[in-house]
Structure 1
Amino acid sequence: MRAYRLLTEVDTAAFCHKVTEALDKGWELYGSPAYAHDPVTGQMRCAQAVVKDVEGAYAPDVKLGDL
């Protein structure tokens, strides 16, 4: 199966670490990153989609962060 995740975080080093950790675990970047203002918190937020090919079939209870 091909797994998909959308990583999001406030625009700090934590976002870069989150993406780097996913890449280290075998996830691949999918598309371009996004950057937007959150009007509720007043902060800028980042998003990056990642994908990974894994064994097995999809199930709704799969923990994508554990793949």
Structure 2
Amino acid sequence: MTTLYRLLTEEDTSAFCHKVSKALARGWVLHGSPAYAFDAESGKMRCAQAVTKQVEADYAHEMKLGEQ
């Protein structure tokens, strides 16, 4: 059993909520609290949420985490 980790990020729009909701629907679990920060380069607020998932496979760098 392997624990996978992803950090989901997006501008502060409904797209971020949809991204997190999609991950949850695919079996990912929230890990910690969300983060919210100003992106000075774009001039917009950004959100981040870590998620984890247990999989029945050995970890490989080539894994496409979003497809797990």
TM superposition score category, shorter chain reference: over 0.9
TM superposition outliers: structure 1 runs of 4+ over 6 Å:
none
- Tell me, which stretches of 5 or more residues in structure 1 are unaligned? none
Paired-residue identity, %: 63
TM-score of the aligned structures, taking structure 1 as reference length: 0.99
1:17 Cα offset (Å): 0.2
- Tell me, which stretches of 5 or more residues in structure 2 are unaligned? none
1:56 Cα offset (Å): 1.0
Match of 1:12 in 2: 13
Aligned: 1:21 with 2:9: no
Structure 1 residues 3-49: Cα deviation after superposition (integer angstroms, max 9, x where no partner): 00000000000000000000000000000000000000000000000
Pairwise CA RMSD: 0.3
Match of 1:54 in 2: 55
TM-score of the aligned structures, taking structure 2 as reference length: 0.98
